[in-house]
Amino acid sequence: NPVAADRVIVRINPAGTVEHQPDLDAVQATPYRLVMQAKVESAAQLTAHGLPTIALIETPLGAVRVEEIAAAPNCVGLMWGAEDLAAGMGGTSSRFGDDEPNPGTYRDIARHVRARVRLAAAAFRVAAIDAVHIDIADTIGLAAEVRDAVAQGFTATACIHPSQAQLIRDGYAPDPTEAAWAEAILRAAQQYGGGVFAYEGQMIDGPVLKQAEAVLVRAGRP
């Protein structure tokens, strides 16, 4: 049986390549409509076909135009790619090597683009997908990256290998204690009728309530 259309993202080649239009034609012949378009560099590259699109930001030009891209009416999400970005700048790696300080972590420009993608996605209320962790064996590094992505409100983290899927799912799922805290905070807010209040020694205000709501969204609760 075919996979339900609302659970499928079809990755298509960049605009301007010979494969781009055949990819679009192939998608139109299926029930699937959500696409992830590689190496997006302008909003016009999305509006040209009008399909709901996750724009992959992985070139220098795409990075400096990310806000324009996020504002495209059919942009539903942003993802970024570190290695293509580094290659596009004439670099050799997006991460520090084992013989450098902070091995395995992103270099400054990659961190800048990651932050800019996250901010643009939040500003235009579209999904934000964090880049893949290409060192498949580095489960500790991936777990740390997922934890950081969750803390910054990313919607998801992409996998490069099936073995990473469960670790990422576990990282996004709040533990029972965290979910219980969020539910208790929101119940207390209803009792206090809004505004700032104290709960178990913690000051609770609007931003804290929004954080609690985000926890319950990750937990799959209304």
Query: Which positions ≥6 away from 41 have C-beta within 8 Å?
Result: 15, 59, 61, 62, 65, 69
Q: Is residue 51 predicted with pLDDT exceeding 80? A: yes
Query: Which positions ≥6 away from 107 have C-beta within 8 Å?
Result: 86, 93, 94, 95, 96
Which band of pLDDT confidence, cut at 50, 70 and 90, is reported for residue 84?
very high
* pLDDT recorded at residue 208: 81
Of 86-90, 144-148, 183-187, the range with the lowest mean pLDDT is 183-187
Q: Is residue 201 predicted with pLDDT exceeding 90? A: no
Which band of pLDDT confidence, cut at 50, 70 and 90, is reported for residue 1?
low
What is the mean pLDDT of the segment spanning 54-82?
A: 98
* pLDDT recorded at residue 167: 96
Flag whether the pTM goes above 0.85. no
Determine what percent of the chain is predicted with pLDDT higher than 90: 73
- Averaged pLDDT score across all residues of the chain: 92
Taking only the tens place, the pLDDT of each residue in 93-130 is 999 999 999 899 999 999 999 999 999 999 999 999 99
What stretches of 97-172 adopt beta strand conformation (E)? 127-130, 156-157
Alpha carbon 190 to chain centroid distance?
31
Between CA 89 and CA 149 the distance in angstroms is: 25
